[in-house]
A and B are shown apart, each in its own frame.
Chain A
C-alpha cells in the first residue's frame, strides 16, 4: 500500500482523477465527502486530503509516501524530500508586483510584503538589496495599496487580482508548477510502487 497526500482543491482532484483513470479506480464520494482518508478500489493506494501547504510536511515526516505540491511550497520550506516529477499542471509564476507607476528607490530599504519570506529573502539577497520583510497570510495585494509595503512577492496566475487592484508585475522571480514529491525513506522501500504511480501520472 502506498500513501499519497493530495492537496485539497482543484489540483489535488485533477491528480486523483488521473490516477483513478490510469487504473487505481474511483472511490464513491472521494472528492465531495468530508472524509479525509480513502482507499483506491483495488486497495493499493491510500489518499489523504490535506491543506496544500501541509503536503510537504506529511511527506517529509513519512505520514505519506508521496505527495502533490506546488514548487512555491518546496522553495519556501525546503523539505528534505525527493522531487521526482514536474506534473506540468498548476503553472504560474512567483513575481514581484507593485502599484502601477511605482518607481524603485535603491537608496532606501525596500518594504516587501509576502506569504513567502524565504523566497523573497533569497531573491533580494542575490541582488544585495536591503529589505524589510512583512510576513502576511493572505490578501497580500492590500499591503502596497495601504502603503504598508513598497512591493509584494506573490504567486501570479492570470494577473486579474493585480489588475483589479491597480497593481502590476515589475519582475519575475521564478516559474511555479505542481510537483510529485517522495519521502526519501519510502523511496528506498517502496521504489517500485512509487515509480508505478510516477509512470501513471506521465
Chain B
C-alpha cells in the first residue's frame, strides 16, 4: 500500500486503486448519491433486497439513497456495438445490514466493463482484480468460478427443478459434501451426478490443477464450451505477475438470475471475508434492453480500512501560558519549519500523543517535556 501522508486508510486505498484502474485506461464514473426508487424495485433480484433508504422530493418524486452503483452504470450506459466502455468508481452505497438490523454506509471502489466483453476484456478485468488484491496485501487469493459450467452440468444431468438447484447451489457455496450425499440417499439426485458434483465442489486449486480435475466432469458440448472459456481465460492470465494468487473454486455462486459466466471473490490474509466480489452480469444489461456484455467487480475498501487502526503521529504541543498571541503563533511556526506537527493549546489534551511539550512562562517558550 502506498504511503500518502495526511490521508485516512480508506482514502489511501481508494487513491491507490483508482490510480491502478486509470493506468489501464478506465475512466472515472461519478454520480449523485440519489437514484429513482423504481430502479431498485424493478431490479430487486439483482440487489438481493427490497430495503433501501427512500425519501420524497418537493415535486413528489420518490428517490433512494444509492444501495448499488452497478445498476446506475448499466442504466446510463449508452454503449451498443463494438469495443468496450471501461469505467471505475469510488462511491459510498447505503445498504441494509441484517446483522445490525440497520442501514450501513459502505465504501466501494469498483470497475465495470460494458460492451463486447470478449476473452481479452475478461482477462483484463480478472487481472485488474488480481492486481487490486496485490495492492492490498502480498498474501491474496482470487477464487474464480464459472456459473455457466455449473448450469450446464445441471442441464447435462437433466436437473431442472428450481428448488433442487437451490439446494445444490447451497451445497456448492458451503462446500457441503455431506448434504450432497444426503440428496443422493434421499433419491433426489443420481449417483453419477452426485460423484461429479462432489468432485466439482472439492476443487480449490491453481488453474492448471483445477482444469485437470474439471476435464473428466465434462458431459456435454455446452459444458465443454464453458470449460474452454475458463481455460482460455486462465491461459491468457498465465504470464501475469499475480497469476500465483488465482484459484478455481466453484463455491463462488449466486442465486441471482442476472449473473452468468464467470464470478470471482478475492481474499487477503487477515480479513475474515471476501474483500473483492465480481462477475459477469449480461442478464442485467439484457433486462434493461441492452444487448451488451457486462463484467465488473467491487472492492470493499471500507471493510479493509476498518481493519487498520490508524496510529496517531507524535505531536508537539505549545501551551499558551502567559505568552502574547503574536509570540505564540511565531514560535509555533518556527517549530513547524523544523518539520514538527505543532498544536497550540491552553491545556494538554487527553487524546493527544504528545512527544514534546513547550510552554510560555514569563513571556519565554520553554521545553517542559
> How far, in angstroms, from A187 to B269 measured CA to CA in the complex?
11
Binds A, one of B152-160, B170-178, B336-344, B358-366: B170-178
Q: Which residues of A contact B139 (CB under 8 A)?
A: 189
Q: Is the CB of B271 within 8 A of A185?
A: yes
A183 contacts partner chain B, Cβ-Cβ < 8 Å: yes
Q: Which residues of B contact A83 (CB under 8 A)?
A: 174-176, 178-179
> How far, in angstroms, from A82 to B269 measured CA to CA in the complex?
17
Q: Is the CB of B267 within 8 A of A191?
A: no
Counting chain A CB atoms within 10 Å of each CB, which of B174, B175, B178 scores highest?
A: B174
Shortest distance in angstroms between B95's beta carbon and chain A's nearest beta carbon? 15
**Residues of chain B at interface, number, CB under 8 A:** 18
B14 contacts partner chain A, Cβ-Cβ < 8 Å: no
Q: Which residues of A contact B179 (CB under 8 A)?
A: 83
Shortest distance in angstroms between A169's beta carbon and chain B's nearest beta carbon? 21
Q: Which of B176, B177, B274 contacts A184 (CB 8 A)?
A: B274
B132 contacts partner chain A, Cβ-Cβ < 8 Å: no
Q: Considering the complex, which residues of chain B in the window 120-167 have a beta carbon less than 8 Å from any beta carbon of chain A?
A: 139, 141, 143
Q: Is the CB of B204 within 8 A of A185?
A: no
Q: A189 with B269: in contact, given A82-B251, A83-B179, A184-B274 (CB under 8 Å)?
A: yes
Q: Considering the complex, which residues of chain A in the window 67-102 have a beta carbon less than 8 Å from any beta carbon of chain B?
A: 80-86
Q: Which of A81, A86, A185 contacts B267 (CB 8 A)?
A: A185
Instruction: Give how many A-B residue pairs fall within 8 Å (CB-CB).
Output: 48
Counting chain A CB atoms within 10 Å of each CB, which of B139, B175, B204 scores highest?
A: B175
Q: Is the CB of B267 within 8 A of A85?
A: no
Q: Which residues of B contact A60 (CB under 8 A)?
A: 272-273
Q: Is the CB of A184 within 8 A of B178?
A: no
Q: Which residues of B contact A61 (CB under 8 A)?
A: 272
B98, closest chain A residue (CB): A78
Q: Considering the complex, which residues of chain B in the window 243-295 have a beta carbon less than 8 Å from any beta carbon of chain A?
A: 247, 251, 267, 269, 271-274
Q: A85 with B178: in contact, given A185-B272, A185-B273 (CB under 8 Å)?
A: yes
> How far, in angstroms, from A65 to B139 measured CA to CA in the complex?
17
Q: Is the CB of B274 within 8 A of A185?
A: yes
Q: Is the CB of B267 within 8 A of A184?
A: yes
Q: Is the CB of B272 within 8 A of A84?
A: no
Shortest distance in angstroms between A122's beta carbon and chain B's nearest beta carbon? 12
Q: Which residues of A contact B176 (CB under 8 A)?
A: 82-84
Residue ranges of A at the interface with B (Cβ–Cβ < 8 Å): 60-63, 80-86, 183-189, 191
Give 17 A-B pairs besides A62-B271, A83-B179, A186-B272 with Cβ atoms closer than 8 angstroms: A82-B174, A82-B251, A84-B175, A84-B176, A85-B177, A85-B178, A86-B178, A184-B251, A184-B273, A185-B271, A185-B273, A188-B143, A188-B204, A188-B267, A189-B141, A189-B267, A189-B269
